[in-house]
Structure 1
Amino acid sequence: MKNFFRNLGPGILVSAAFIGPGTVTVCSLAGVEFGYSLLWALLVSIIACIVLQEMSARLGLVTGKGLSDSIRQSITSPVLRLVALILIFSAIVIGNAAYEAGNISGAVMGVQSIMPIEEISISGNVINLWSFIVGGSAFILLYLGSYKQLEKVFIGLVVLMSLAFIITAFLTQPSWSGIFRGFVPTSISDEVLTIIALVGTTVVPYNLFLHASLVGEKWTGVNHLKTVQSELVFSIILGGLVSMAILICAASSGLSSIDDVAGLAVGLEPLFGNMATTFLAIGLLAAGITSSITAPLAAAYVVKGCLGWKGGMANWRFKAVWMSIIILGILFSSLGIKPVEIIQFAQVANGIVLPVIAIFLLWIVNQESILGKFRNSAFQNIIGILVIALAIFLGAKSIYTVIQNL
C-alpha cells in the first residue's frame, strides 16, 4: 500500500485538472436541471477518460515524448503538420487561457462562500483581490515547485476536494433509489448539450497532452507500464466519484435554478447547516487552485512539443507560456466577469474539439515505428473507436441542437 501511494502522481494531476470549476459548474447545473438522471453520462465519461488517458500515458512512457511532440515528428507532410499544429495550438493554448479565468474565479467563489469579498476600485473598475491571491498562489507554486513538489501539493488538494464533495453529498441525504435509476440511460433529446458538457469536463483534451508529458517526468522505462496504468485507473475513478458527488449534491438540494456555483452552497445552508456550505466551499477552492495550475502547465507542454523546445519545467520559454496564461486569467477574473456561462460554453466546445484530438492520439498509438510492441491491440482500437464515435455523435447532435434553436 505504501508503494502504491508513492506511485501516485500523473494520474492524480489529470484528476485534479478535470475536477475544476468547470466540473463543479456543469455537474451542479446537470443535477439542478435533470436530477440524478445523467449519472449514466458521467459513468460513460469516466470509462472514455480511462481509455484515452491510458493511450496518452503509454505513449509518453514508451517514447519519453509529449503528444504534440509525437504528432509534430510523425506527420511528414509540411502542410498537414502545420495545419495539425495550428489546430492543436489554438484548441489547447488559447482555450486554456480562457479556462484560467474561470478556474481562478471558481476558486474565488469558494472563498467568498465563507469569507467576505475583498474589492478595490481603480479608475472606476472594481478589482477582486481574491483573484490576485488565488492566481498568485498558483503562480508561486509553479514558479518554485519541481514536478515532485507539485505532485505532493496536488495529492493533498485532490484528497481535500474528494472528502469535501463526497461528505457533502452524504449530508444532503440523497434518494438512493433515484441515484440507482440515474445510471440507466434515457432519451437525450433535451439533455444533449448538458451531456456533451459532462463529457467535455471529464475527458479534457489538454489532459491528453499533459499526461503524456508528465509520465516522463516521473518514470523512465516501459517496465513501469503496469504501475502507470493502475495509478491512472485509481485516480480517474476517484475523480469520477467526486464529479458524481457534485451532481448528487445539486440534485438533492431542492433548488430549481442557480445563477452561480456559490448559489448552490448558499442553497444548501438552510437545509443542512453551515457544515455543508463549508465543505462545498473548500472543495470549490481546492478545485479552482488545482485547475489554475494544471491548465497553464498543460498549455506550456503543448507549446514546447509543437515548437520542439528542449528542456523541462525550468526552461525560461516554458515558464513564459504558463506565466502568460496565469496573468491573463488573473486579469479577467479580477474584473468580475461571471464565469458560469463561459465555463459551460467552454465545456461544450471542449467536447466538440475532443474527437479531433482523440483521432490524432489513436493514429499515433497505432504507429509501430513509434510504440513498437506497445502499440494498440485490436481490442484497444475497438474501444478507442467507440469512444471517438460517441464523441463525434454527441458533438454533431449538439451542433444540430444549437442550429435548431437559432
Structure 2
Amino acid sequence: MGKSLEEVNASVDTTQQTGFWRKLLSFMGPAYLVSVGYMDPGNWATDLAGGSQFGYKLLWVLLMSNLMALLLQSLSARLGVVRGKDLAQASRETYPRAINVPLYILAEIAIAACDLAEVLGMAIGLQLLFDIPLIWGVSITVLDTFLLLFLINQGMRKMEAFILVLVSIIGGAFVLEMFFAKPGLNEVASGLVPSIPNNEALYIAIGIIGATVMPHNLYLHSSLVQTRKFERSVAGIRRAIKFNFIDSAVALNLAFFVNAAILILAAATFYKNGMHHVAEIKDAHKFLAPLLGSKWAPILFAVALIAAGQSSTLTGTLAGQIVMEGYLNFRIQPWLRRMITRLLAVGPALFVIIYFGEEYTGKLLVFSQVVLSMQLGFAIIPLIHFVSSKTRMGDFVIGKWLKVSAWLVASTIVILNIKLVYEELSGWLASSSYPTVIWLTAVPVAVACLFLLLYITFQPLVVKALQHHPVGSHFQPVEYQPLAKPIYTRVAIALDFSEVDKHVINNALAIGNQAAEYVIIHIVETAGALVMGPDIKDYETSSDQLNLDRYAKDLRGKGYKVTVKLGYGNPKKCIPKIVKEFNAELLVMGSHGHQLMKDLILGTTIDSVRHSVKIPVLIV
C-alpha cells in the first residue's frame, strides 16, 4: 500500500525547527485546509435557513457541532500521525473488499454532495457580483480544475498559504457584516441554550451537523498531517499529536466564528424583521443592503461566498483522491480525478436549475448537507475503532474518557440520522401515489445501509471475542499413528498479499522440497480486471505483479524453482484454471483470517476452489 498523497507526503520538514513557536508554525496548515470545508456554501445555506426561521435558537447546534468536529478531527490527525495511514487506507487494511466498496461509494457520495454545494455557491456568488446566469456560473466552475493542479505542483506550503488568504477574506468580510448588523448580545447568549422547536428545526439542525462535521474531512485530515516530516520516536509522535491538536483548535474555532456570524446575521436581519423564510442565498444578498443600510454588505457577502466555494473545492478534490487510492488502491491522474468529482456535482446542479428553476437551489444546498450528515456514521465509527485499538495504536491509543466522548458523538449523530430517515420514508410512503416504488428502491437501500452500519460497529468486537479459545479441562490427548510424509513435486501457492502469506509460503515449502516446482498465484479482483482481463494497465495490477516478482526472486535466491502467475477477475474461477494449467499436485492457500460475518461474505471462495480442483488443498 503506497503513501497517502504520495506527491506531497513528508514534504514539509519540521525537524529543523527549534523552539515552541517555530515548531508549532511548521506543523500549522493541514487544519486550515480542513477548516474551509466547515465554512463552505452548504454551511451558508443551513445557517441562513436556521437563523431566518428560528432566530438564535439553533446557535447551540453550531457550538455542539464545532466541539464534535474538534474531537473527531483530532482523532483523525492522531490516526495519520501514529500509523502513517489515512482513514481510507486503514479501512482497506481492516475490512473485506465487500465492505470497503460500499464504504468507498458512500464516501464518494459525500464528496459529490459537498462539491455540489461548492458548485452552487460559486455560481451564485458569480451571479450576485457580475449578474452571470446561474447555469453559466455552474459551467464556469468546471474550469477551476486547473487551479488545483497548479497549486499542488507549487508545493504544500503555497497551497496552504492560498487557502489561508481565502479564509482570511471570509473571516474579514463577516467581521464587517457583524459591525453592520449590530446583534444583541443577550439574544445571542440565549441561543446557546439547547432546544429543538419542531421537526423542521430538527431537519435544519441535522443539516448543520452534516455541514459542520463533514465525513470527507476525516479522510482528508488523516492524510494531510502526513505532509509533515517529524521524528518517528515516542517523543516526536507525541509532539506531532500536540501541535496538530493546536492547529485544529485554532482553525476550527475560526470556522465556528464564520458559521455563527452567518446564523447571527440571518437572525439579526431577517428573523428580527419577520422574514422567516430567507433560506436562499440570493434572497439574503438582496435584502442585506436595505436592512443594514450599507451597499457594502451584499458585496462583502458575495465575495466571501466565492472565496468559500473556491477554497472548499480544492480540499474536496484532495479528499476524492485520498478515498479512491485508500479504499481501492487505484490511482488516476489528478486532473481526471478532479473532472470526475466536478462533473458528478455539476450534473445534479444543472438538472435542478433547468428542470425546477433557480429558486430551488437553496433547497438543494440544504439537502446536500443532510446527505453529508447521513454519511457521517460510516466514517466516524471506523475511525473510533482504529484509534481505540491498542494493537494498532500502541502507546498512543486514546484514553477511556476520550473514547466515551467519541462514542457519545457517534451515537448522537447516528440516532438523529436514523430518526430523520425513518420520518422521511414514512412521509414519502404516506404521500406518494406509488408507494410500491419506494418499497422497492428507497427502503432496501436504507436497510442495506443500516446493516452496513451494524457490521462496522460490531465487527471488531466479534473478532476480538473469537480470538481466544481456551482448551477445556476435560481435554484428553488422542493417540494416533503418524503417516509417511507425502512427496509433492508441483505445488501451487495462492497469495492475497496479507499477513497470512508468510504462513502459506512456509507451509508450502515445508511440504515440498528443493526439487519441487512452485507457482505463486495472485488474482487481481478490480472491476477493470474483470472487464479487461490481461489488458488492464492500472496501478494495482502493476503493484501486484511487482509483489509476485519479489516473492519469486527471494525464493529463487534460496534455491527453489518458482514461477509466478497473475490472474484477472473472479478468484473462484481463475485459481482452479491456473492450477490445472500448471498441472499442480497440491494447492496451498490462506484462510485470510475470515471470521463470522466475513466468512458469510467472502468465505465461499475457498469452498468453490476446493470443489473445482481434483488435488489436495491445504488451507493455512
The answer to whether TM tops 0.5 is yes
Q: Match for residue 215 of structure 1?
A: 225
CA distance in 2: counterparts of 1:155 and 1:192, whole angstroms? 33
Deviations 1:232-261 (A, max 9, x none): 111111101111001011111223222521
Q: Match for residue 279 of structure 1?
A: 300
Cα distance change of structure 1 residues 270 and 3 upon mapping to structure 2, 3 Å threshold: farther
Deviations 1:333-362 (A, max 9, x none): 567454322221121122222123211111
Cα distance change of structure 1 residues 219 and 269 upon mapping to structure 2, 3 Å threshold: farther
CA distance in 1: counterparts of 2:194 and 2:35, whole angstroms? 25
Residue correspondence of structure 1 range 20-99 to structure 2 within 5 A = 20-75=40-95, 81-99=96-114
Q: Return the letter of the residue paired with 1:37.
A: K
Q: Match for residue 226 of structure 1?
A: 242
Residue pair 2:35, 2:252 contacting (<8 A) in 1 also: yes
CA distance in 1: counterparts of 2:62 and 2:279, whole angstroms? 23
Q: Return the letter of the residue paired with 2:299.
A: T
Cα distance change of structure 1 residues 218 and 266 upon mapping to structure 2, 3 Å threshold: farther
CA distance in 2: counterparts of 1:192 and 1:287, whole angstroms? 25
Q: Match for residue 176 of structure 1?
A: 185
Deviations 1:150-184 (A, max 9, x none): 21111111111111123213311212211110000
Q: Match for residue 297 of structure 1?
A: 318
Q: Return the letter of the residue paired with 2:204.
A: T
CA distance in 1: counterparts of 2:202 and 2:114, whole angstroms? 22
Residue pair 1:61, 1:219 contacting (<8 A) in 2 also: no
Q: Match for residue 210 of structure 2?
A: 200
- Do residues 288 (structure 1) and 309 (structure 2) align? yes
**1:389 partner SS:** helix
Q: Return the letter of the residue paired with 1:193.
A: Y
- Do residues 380 (structure 1) and 402 (structure 2) align? yes
Scaled by the length of structure 1, the TM-score of the pair is 0.89
**2:282 partner SS:** helix
1:118 Cα shift? 5.3
CA distance in 2: counterparts of 1:53 and 1:259, whole angstroms? 29
Q: Match for residue 253 of structure 1?
A: 269
1:8 Cα shift? 2.6
1:329 to 339, 345, 366: 345
Indicate the structure (1 or 2) with the bigger Cα radius of gyration: 2
Scaled by the length of structure 2, the TM-score of the pair is 0.59
Q: Return the letter of the residue paired with 1:197.
A: G
- Do residues 398 (structure 1) and 404 (structure 2) align? no
Cα distance change of structure 1 residues 36 and 390 upon mapping to structure 2, 3 Å threshold: same
Residue pair 2:58, 2:196 contacting (<8 A) in 1 also: no
Query: How large is the Cα RMSD of the aligned pairs?
Result: 2.1
Cα distance change of structure 1 residues 330 and 186 upon mapping to structure 2, 3 Å threshold: closer
CA distance in 2: counterparts of 1:258 and 1:6, whole angstroms? 43
CA distance in 1: counterparts of 2:45 and 2:178, whole angstroms? 15
1:210 Cα shift? 0.5
Residue pair 1:99, 1:343 contacting (<8 A) in 2 also: no
CA distance in 1: counterparts of 2:213 and 2:82, whole angstroms? 22
Q: Return the letter of the residue paired with 1:143.
A: L
Q: Return the letter of the residue paired with 1:102.
A: A
CA distance in 2: counterparts of 1:41 and 1:259, whole angstroms? 17
**1:239 partner SS:** helix
Cα distance change of structure 1 residues 333 and 401 upon mapping to structure 2, 3 Å threshold: closer
Q: Return the letter of the residue paired with 2:172.
A: L
Give the stretch that moved more between structures: 217-226 or 49-58.
Answer: 217-226
Q: 4+ runs of 1 displaced by more than 6 Å?
A: none
Residue pair 2:142, 2:339 contacting (<8 A) in 1 also: no
CA distance in 2: counterparts of 1:330 and 1:402, whole angstroms? 26
CA distance in 1: counterparts of 2:260 and 2:395, whole angstroms? 37
Deviations 1:105-148 (A, max 9, x none): 201212222222158xxxxxxx50x33444323x1221112232
Q: Return the letter of the residue paired with 1:30.
A: G
**2:28 partner SS:** coil
Residue pair 1:60, 1:215 contacting (<8 A) in 2 also: yes
Residue pair 2:177, 2:265 contacting (<8 A) in 1 also: yes
- Greater relative CO (CA pairs within 8 A, separation 6+): 1
Cα distance change of structure 1 residues 6 and 132 upon mapping to structure 2, 3 Å threshold: farther
Q: Match for residue 143 of structure 1?
A: 149
CA distance in 2: counterparts of 1:199 and 1:259, whole angstroms? 17
Cα distance change of structure 1 residues 197 and 361 upon mapping to structure 2, 3 Å threshold: same
Deviations 1:380-402 (A, max 9, x none): 10110110111122112222432
CA distance in 2: counterparts of 1:188 and 1:354, whole angstroms? 24
Cα distance change of structure 1 residues 388 and 332 upon mapping to structure 2, 3 Å threshold: closer
- Give the % identical residues: 27
Q: Match for residue 240 of structure 1?
A: 256
Residue pair 2:48, 2:263 contacting (<8 A) in 1 also: yes
CA distance in 1: counterparts of 2:284 and 2:322, whole angstroms? 35
Q: Return the letter of the residue paired with 2:311.
A: T
**1:290 partner SS:** helix
CA distance in 2: counterparts of 1:259 and 1:51, whole angstroms? 29
